[in-house]
Amino acid sequence: MTSQEVRLQFLNFFKEKNHKIVPSAPMVMKDDPTLMFTNAGMNQFKEFFLGNSIPKSKRVTDTQKCLRVSGKHNDLEEVGKDTYHHTMFEMLGNWSFGDYFKKEAIQWAWELLTEVYKIDKDSLYVSVFEGSDDDNLELDQEAYDLWKAIVPEDRIIMGNKKDNFWEMGDQGPCGPCSEIHVDLRSKEEKAKVPGASLVNQDDPLVVEIWNLVFIQYNRKANGSLEDLPEKHIDTGMGFERLCMVLQGVKSNYDTDVFTPLIREIETITGHKYGKKEETNIAIRVVADHIRAVAFAIADGQLPSNTGAGYVIRRILRRAIRYGFTFLDTKQPFIYRLVNVLSERMGKAFPELPKNHQLIENVIKEEENSFLSTLEQGLVLLDSVIASSKGKTIDGEKAFELYDTFGFPIDLTSLILQEKGYQLDVEGFEKALKAQKDRSRAASEVSKDDWTVLQQDAEQEFVGYDVLESNVKLVKYRKVSSKKEGDQYQLVFNLTPFYAEGGGQVGDKGYLEAPNGDVVYIVDTKKENNEIVHFAEDLPKDVSGTFKAVVDKEQRFHTACNHTATHLLHQALREILGTHVEQKGSAVHSKYLRFDFSHFSKMTPAELRDVENFVNARIAGQLPFEENRNMPIKDAMEQGAMALFGEKYGDTVRTVRFGQSIELCGGTHVKNTAEIWHFKIVSEGAVAAGIRRIEAITSEAAKEFFFKNNQMLFEIKDVLNTSQDPVKAVVSLQEENASLRKQVEQLLKDKAKGLKNDLIAELKDINGIQFLGKKVDLDAGGIKDLAFEMGGQVTNLFLLLASENDGKAILSCYISKDLASNKGLNAGNIVRELGKHIQGGGGGQPFFATAGGKNPSGIPAALANAEELVRATR
């Protein structure tokens, strides 16, 4: 069975059991401050489990792109070394939101595996939560009894809290689970060691494939559990592992999900898979990591220096480094796998072919830059080795390489080993821990539990229509962090405050109590589909009705920038072409920033065209036309711009200004005329194939023009002319150039006059034409002069001195013949004479200079030179 069929059968099985098939959520989290990446199928449904929103269907099924490389679930270090953990993998799941529970979940899972997929019952084991004293929980008897009805009791294994109690993070919905494991070993091996003893023991052939989670608790901040109002089912089956079982192979990498990638890696690198363990690991690492990185980029997450982008960069670097060391790849090659990947997975995930070119470009550039880092690192490491005394290399030094240059520590220790050195691992670990502690302390946030004042399932956002409304507090909690100090998070029954999202900043404003007390709202963000207001204080009386007031100025300027962003997007596609796609956007009150795919720097003419295009639509006074409830199909048919990596529902909000129509939840002006003017202030590159425009509108644009105008007046004032200032500056530049020429000519004439004077002053001492003299020239001028005199006079010995800014220079010129006949060396001579001016120098036998800090020693040096010449025979 091909992997495509495996996926389809799963979804169809649950479709027949009245589940709605929904798309995978993006792998990169956009509005969940507690998670960077989707790490399980349930993440996108968290709000339903918490009761914050009501699902449209109570039963759904899907395949979810997951990434387990950070936080509570981090498999990165295992990946490649074993054959069944990936960074990015697909999790097949079926869900019940307050509908069916353990009985159906268990029965259907068994039916699918044994009757549809026809997996041998004798190779399956199941586990049940044994209970936990910590949490005061008992054995999951209900699950045990359900399993007992289907499988022999010796195939039911008791699991502890670590394996059989599922939690996404430190807080949130959770519950006991039942896992299903498969034993893929040969008959002989099974006869020797019973499979039950290998479950959850990290045996690569006895692996967990499916986890059925019975969500019934919420983990609170203090660690305690509370019952959820409704019970839910959350299951997750590893797609790649299932394919391994159904395709009769013993490693995920031998399924058709990975073999095309592995064949391609073999072709590119010339290394065969299956020959040598080191090479095998490296090939698996590359085959796995390309998927994670490509999907992340398709979701809009580019490699970068911070946050989620940094995690992606590290994954890619891990692959580059394995290739570099074990596959001998010194040139970029990983980007060449995008073709195969996109061909294989493009059907199920159209975002891959769509972003094909971008993904290739970004990966190639990252590869280039990290390969050169690796080379620099090797040089640095050599110098560390050269300067170290014993055979052990300082851990601090290795940490520096790792921290500042991104040089992987395992590579450092490998190279050291090869050269017969050792790494001070303890020292390295210590330095690493110290750094982690520092950054943890800086970013630590502690959150109290919510204090719930009233139950209110769905809060309403009224801020499209009004900026002020009467609200009631539904719940609040205190959060503390080093960065922000103590803050309160407030949730209202309804709110006019826009929560950060779609690139637009959250609203600010205040809350006024009936007695006139005011609490400032400093930011607004979404969490689990709830609008959370960040306040500096808690209102004294939390029970009353408050007037919630949005800061109008900020909202207005932000709206101008948001509408201008749509017009800019339209302009770019119109002027540069439809390959332009939005890759990032930040809408603030003071400016807007827009990242988009395009392959070359924009020309000044293109920039002007874009500005003109947008300003023409501002002048055109286009009205704001919104539809808050349009079926997504209709919106797409009308040509609305949607973004990859965004999660959209069945119905969407569309925002139209003239021909520009986008799916958008942001706030906008009522008419483009309100924007007044649009001005681009910068255009540049952010990554390979991605450009960034920063622009301003309304007040900020006014300010910009005002300041520039002011500067022009000042320039005119300084120029003190009624002429056009550009002409005035050009003529000043011309005048300056011609004056510089005159000065140069004058200096030449002066040197010529000086030369003739000096020749007249030469003394004949025993046939040597000698002159020792202080002159008023710089070092370059003296050199020119000396060489010119040397061309005219034979047997010349010159010692010319000069003084400049309190420093002395001695230059000694000796005709080449003279120097060799008499054994004279200008270099040695200036070094000797340099003592008089407290300095030193050197050069060649026929010309040398010395510099010193004591100009008052010049006469002595000159006299000394003459003595020297007199003594020469």
- Could you list the residues that contact ligand ATP (CB under 6 A)? 68, 75, 85-86, 89, 91, 208-211, 236-238, 240-241
Longest dimension (CA), the chain: 123
> Which of 179, 662 has the CB closer to ligand ATP?
179
CB of 24 to ligand ATP, least distance (A): 14
Nearest position to ligand ATP, beta carbon? 238
Tokens of 491: 């949730």
> Which of 70, 368 has the CB closer to ligand ATP?
70
CB of 585 to ligand ATP, least distance (A): 32
CB of 165 to ligand ATP, least distance (A): 11
Query: Among residues 707, 708, 727, 725, which one has the least CA distance to residue 716?
Result: 725
Query: Among residues 229, 226, 168, which one has the least CA distance to residue 29?
Result: 168
**Burial (CB count within 10 angstroms: exposed 0-12, middle 13-18, buried 19+), residue 12:** middle
Query: Among residues 551, 569, 524, 568, which one has the least CA distance to residue 697?
Result: 568
CB of 25 to ligand ATP, least distance (A): 16
Task: Name the phi and psi angles at 482, rounded to 5.
Answer: -60, -40
> Which of 201, 331 has the CB closer to ligand ATP?
201
CB of 68 to ligand ATP, least distance (A): 5
**Burial (CB count within 10 angstroms: exposed 0-12, middle 13-18, buried 19+), residue 323:** buried
Q: Cβ distance 125 to 185 under 8 Å?
A: no
Distance CA 81, CA 87 (A): 12
C-alpha distances in Å from residue 410, one per residue of 77, 120, 406, 422: 12, 42, 12, 12
DSSP string, 34-100: T-SB--SGGGGGHHHHTTSS--S-SEEEEEEEEE-EETTEE-GGGBTTBSS--SEEEEEEEEEESS-
b/e burial code for range 260-290 (CB count within 10 A of at least 16 → b):
bbbebbbebbebebeeeeebbbbbbbbbbbb
Between strands 768-774 and 796-804, the pairing is parallel
CB of 163 to ligand ATP, least distance (A): 7
> Which of 36, 371 has the CB closer to ligand ATP?
36
CB of 241 to ligand ATP, least distance (A): 5
Distance CA 648, CA 151 (A): 42
> Which of 45, 488 has the CB closer to ligand ATP?
45
Distance CA 666, CA 694 (A): 19
Distance CA 593, CA 587 (A): 7
Tokens of 436: 């982690």
> Which of 66, 568 has the CB closer to ligand ATP?
66
Residues contacting residue 261 through CB under 8 Å, at least 6 positions apart: 287, 290, 291, 337, 340, 341, 344
Say if residue 562 carries a ligand binding annotation. yes
CB of 170 to ligand ATP, least distance (A): 16
> Which of 39, 561 has the CB closer to ligand ATP?
39
Distance CA 777, CA 757 (A): 14
> Which of 283, 415 has the CB closer to ligand ATP?
283
- 11 CA to centre of own chain: 34
CB of 88 to ligand ATP, least distance (A): 8
> Which of 173, 236 has the CB closer to ligand ATP?
236
Name beta bridge partners: 706.
none
Residues contacting residue 726 through CB under 8 Å, at least 6 positions apart: none
Q: Cβ distance 154 to 196 under 8 Å?
A: yes
Say if residue 812 carries a ligand binding annotation. no
> Which of 252, 698 has the CB closer to ligand ATP?
252
| Residue 561: CA count within 13 A, CB half-sphere | 28
CB of 76 to ligand ATP, least distance (A): 9
Distance CA 263, CA 283 (A): 10
If you compute the radius of gyration of the chain from its CA atoms, what whole number of angstroms results? 38
Cα end-to-end distance, the chain, whole Å: 102
Between strands 422-423 and 392-393, the pairing is parallel
Distance CA 280, CA 274 (A): 6
- 752 CA to centre of own chain: 63
> Which of 175, 238 has the CB closer to ligand ATP?
238
CB of 41 to ligand ATP, least distance (A): 8
Residues contacting residue 316 through CB under 8 Å, at least 6 positions apart: 289, 293, 303, 334, 363, 366, 367, 370
> Which of 235, 672 has the CB closer to ligand ATP?
235
> Which of 66, 473 has the CB closer to ligand ATP?
66
> Which of 164, 811 has the CB closer to ligand ATP?
164
CB of 94 to ligand ATP, least distance (A): 13
**Burial (CB count within 10 angstroms: exposed 0-12, middle 13-18, buried 19+), residue 838:** middle
Residue 780: what residue type? Answer: G
CB of 83 to ligand ATP, least distance (A): 10
> Which of 204, 501 has the CB closer to ligand ATP?
204
CB of 322 to ligand ATP, least distance (A): 18
Between strands 59-67 and 20-21, the pairing is parallel
Distance CA 182, CA 241 (A): 10
> Which residue ranges make up the annotated binding site for Zn(2+)?
562, 566, 664, 668
> Which residue ranges make up the annotated binding site?
562, 566, 664, 668
